[in-house]
C-alpha cells in the first residue's frame, strides 16, 4: 500500500459521500473549537531563581540579555525583597508563600529544619507546585532545591516532593561540577566535563528537552534554579576571562566601619587588609562570570518559546533567593545581614497582560511569588494558607485589582558553632562563616527581626536583635540610603513605639494578618 503524501502539492483520497461545502464547514468548526481552546488555555509559567544574586551592588550588570528579554519586555520591580537573607529559609518561603516563623525553616542546617523530615511532611506537602499539579499543569524542576536536600536519613535522592512531574534536583548546595542529582528519584552522578556536566548548561538543556516533549494540550510550569552566582564561582570556560578589570564597587557603605550597629558589624577591621580586598574583588568578578551562562539560559528559553509558539502565553519570572555583599561595612563576602545589599533582590516579569518597559515601585516580597503564580494559574487564593499576596495586579492592572502592602517583615535566625573557630580564637564560640583575617559573618545572636515601610512619605527600617544587648537599629533610607547612621537615639519615641508594635504583630502573623498590619 502506498504511503499517503502530505505537505505542499500533496494529494490524497477525499472522503466518500462528503460534499466539498460540508468539508469546508467541518474544517471551519474544527478551527473555531481549537482556537477557543487555545484562548481558554491557562498561561504557562517559568520561574528562574538565581542563587545569591544581589541587585544593590551591580549584580544585574552582566545580565544584558535577561534585562532586554524579560525586563524591557515586561515589568521590573525596583523594590523587591527577600523576607530572610539566606538560601534555605528563603527558598522555603518562595515555595510556601510563608514567612519563616510559619514554615519554621530557620537556616541552612538540618537542625534548622532545612529539607528535614518535619519540613517534608509539613510545609513542603502543601507548597505551590502541589496546587499547580491539581490544575493540570505539567511541572518541571531543575537545579538547586534546598541546601540539605538528598542527604542521608532525610529521604536521600529517592524523595521527590509532591507536585513535580519531572524532577532534576541537586543534592546539597550549589556546585558547577562533580555533583549528584536526583532525577525523578534516581541517583545520577556527574563529573567535570564541560560538555556533559556544567550545571547551568545542563539545567538549560533539560528544560529545552522538556519543552519539546511536553503535551501541548496542558499548560506547563518550570522552575529553573541555577547555581550562579553562588560560590565556588566556577565560570564556563568561554567566560573565564571576562570582566578582567572589574572590581567590587567602592561607594556607599563599602569598607565603612559598623558604627552604632550590632556587635557582629563592629568586629571587622576597617579599613580592610589588602588580602581581604583582593579576595572579595576576585569573588565579585567570578560571580559576574558565572552569570553569563544564566544570561544564555534566558536567551535560549525565549527562543525556544518563540519556536514552539508559546512565548505570548508564558509568564517568565526572574529573581534570586537573597542578595549579597562584598566589602560593605568591611564584611568581606556573604549575606545574612539586615541591610539593603542582602535583602534586596532582582525581580523582572514578562507575560500576558504585562505592558513592556514598566518600572514598578510597589514593595514585593519573595513570599508573594507563590500566590502570584497560583493566581496566574487560576487557583482561588482565598483557599490558601499564605502570608504573601499576588502582585499580578501591580504589573497587569487590567487583569486584577489590588493594593500595595504598607509594612512587611524581614527575619533571620543566626547560625553559630559551639566550638571556637580556629581562624578567630579571640572571638570565642558561637560564631560561623569566619575568614582568616578574623572576620566572622554570622553568629548565634545574629538573630533579628525588622519591620519595613516603603511609601511616598518615608522609607523606614526598624530592627530588634535577640541578644544580651537587646540591640536596636533604625534607619531612614530616604535620607540615608546606605544605612550609615543608626538614628535610634534621635528618632521620635512615638515612631519607635509604633514600629515596635507593628513588629510584634508581624512576628506572630499568619495569613491575612500578615497583609493587614496598619
How far apart are the C-alpha atoms of 280 and 248, rounded to whole Å?
7
CA atoms within 13 A on the CB side of 224: 27
How far apart are the C-alpha atoms of 260 and 485, rounded to whole Å?
8
Candidates 31, 32, 35, 87; catalytic one: 87
Contact (Cβ atoms closer than 8 angstroms) between residue 64 and residue 295: yes
- Answer yes or no: 31 catalytic: no
Contact (Cβ atoms closer than 8 angstroms) between residue 138 and residue 167: no
CA distances from 113 to 85, 122, 334, 443 (A): 16, 11, 21, 18
Helices (H), 41-149: 64-66, 87-96, 100-103, 117-121, 128-134
How far apart are the C-alpha atoms of 290 and 293, rounded to whole Å?
6
Number of residues that make up the chain: 518
Contact (Cβ atoms closer than 8 angstroms) between residue 51 and residue 225: yes
| Pairing of β 364-365 and β 186-189 | unpaired
CA atoms within 13 A on the CB side of 53: 28
How far apart are the C-alpha atoms of 250 and 278, rounded to whole Å?
13
Q: How far apart are the first and last CA of the chain?
A: 78
Catalytic residue positions, numbered: 87
Amino acid at each position: 500500500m502506498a504511503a499517503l503524501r502530505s505537505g505542499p502539492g500533496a494529494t490524497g483520497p477525499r472522503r466518500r459521500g462528503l460534499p466539498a461545502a460540508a468539508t469546508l464547514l467541518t474544517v471551519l468548526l474544527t478551527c473555531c473549537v481549537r482556537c477557543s481552546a487555545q484562548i481558554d488555555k491557562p498561561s504557562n509559567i517559568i520561574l528562574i531563581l538565581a542563587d545569591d544574586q544581589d541587585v544593590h551592588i551591580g549584580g544585574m550588570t552582566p545580565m544584558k540579555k535577561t534585562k532586554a528579554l524579560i525586563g524591557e519586555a515586561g515589568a521590573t520591580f525596583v523594590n523587591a525583597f527577600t523576607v530572610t537573607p539566606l538560601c534555605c529559609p528563603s527558598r522555603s518561603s518562595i515555595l510556601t508563600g510563608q514567612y519563616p516563623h510559619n514554615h519554621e525553616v530557620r537556616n541552612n542546617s538540618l537542625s534548622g529544619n532545612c529539607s528535614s523530615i518535619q519540613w517534608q511532611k509539613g510545609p513542603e506537602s502543601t507548597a505551590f507546585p502541589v496546587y499547580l499539579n491539581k490544575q493540570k499543569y505539567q511541572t518541571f524542576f531543575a537545579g538547586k532545591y534546598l541546601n540539605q536536600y538528598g542527604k542521608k536519613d532525610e529521604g536521600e535522592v529517592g524523595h521527590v516532593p509532591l507536585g513535580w512531574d519531572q524532577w532534576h534536583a541537586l543534592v546539597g548546595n550549589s556546585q558547577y561540577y562533580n555533583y549528584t542529582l536526583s532525577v525523578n528519584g534516581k541517583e545520577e552522578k556527574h563529573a567535570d566535563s564541560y560538555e556533559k556536566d556544567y550545571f547551568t548548561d545542563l539545567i538549560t538543556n533539560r528544560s529545552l528537552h522538556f519543552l519539546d516533549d511536553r503535551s501541548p494540550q496542558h499548560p506547563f510550569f518550570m522552575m529553573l534554579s541555577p547555581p550562579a552566582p553562588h560560590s565556588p564561582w566556577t565560570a564556563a570556560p568561554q567566560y573565564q576571562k571576562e570582566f578582567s578589570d572589574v572590581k567590587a564597587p567602592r561607594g556607599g557603605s563599602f569598607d565603612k566601619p559598623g558604627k552604632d550597629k550590632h556587635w557582629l558589624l563592629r568586629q571587622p577591621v576597617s579599613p580592610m587588609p589588602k588580602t581581604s580586598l583582593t579576595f572579595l574583588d576576585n569573588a565579585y568578578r567570578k560571580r559576574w562570570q558565572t552569570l553569563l551562562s544564566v544570561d544564555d539560559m534566558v536567551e535560549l528559553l525565549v527562543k525556544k518559546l518563540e519556536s514552539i509558539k508559546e512565548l505570548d502565553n508564558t509568564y517568565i519570572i526572574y529573581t534570586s533567593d537573597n542578595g549579597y555583599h562584598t566589602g560593605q561595612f568591611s564584611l568581606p563576602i556573604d549575606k545574612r545581614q539586615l541591610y539593603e545589599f542582602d535583602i534586596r533582590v532582582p525581580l523582572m516579569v514578562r507575560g500576558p497582560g504585562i505592558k513592556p518597559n514598566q518600572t514598578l515601585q510597589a514593595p514585593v516580597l519573595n513570599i508573594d511569588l507563590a500566590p502570584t503564580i497560583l493566581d496566574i494559574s487560576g487557583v482561588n487564593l482565598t483557599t490558601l494558607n499564605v502570608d504573601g499576596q499576588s502582585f499580578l495586579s501591580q504589573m497587569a492592572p487590567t487583569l486584577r485589582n489590588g493594593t500595595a502592602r504598607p509594612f512587611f517583615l524581614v527575619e533571620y535566625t543566626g547560625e553559630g558553632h559551639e566550638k571556637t573557630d580556629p581562624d578567630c580564637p579571640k572571638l570565642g564560640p558561637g560564631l560561623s562563616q569566619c575568614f582568616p583575617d578574623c572576620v566572622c559573618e554570622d553568629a548565634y545572636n545574629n538573630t533579628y527581626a525588622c519591620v519595613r515601610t516603603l511609601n511616598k512619605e518615608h522609607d523606614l527600617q526598624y530592627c530588634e536583635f535577640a541578644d544580651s544587648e537587646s540591640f536596636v537599629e533604625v534607619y531612614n533610607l530616604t535620607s540615608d540610603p546606605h544605612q550609615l547612621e543608626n538614628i535610634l537615639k534621635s528618632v521620635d519615641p512615638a515612631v519607635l513605639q509604633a514600629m515596635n508594635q507593628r513588629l510584634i504583630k508581624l512576628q506572630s502573623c499568619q495569613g491575612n494578618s500578615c497583609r493587614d498590619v496598619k
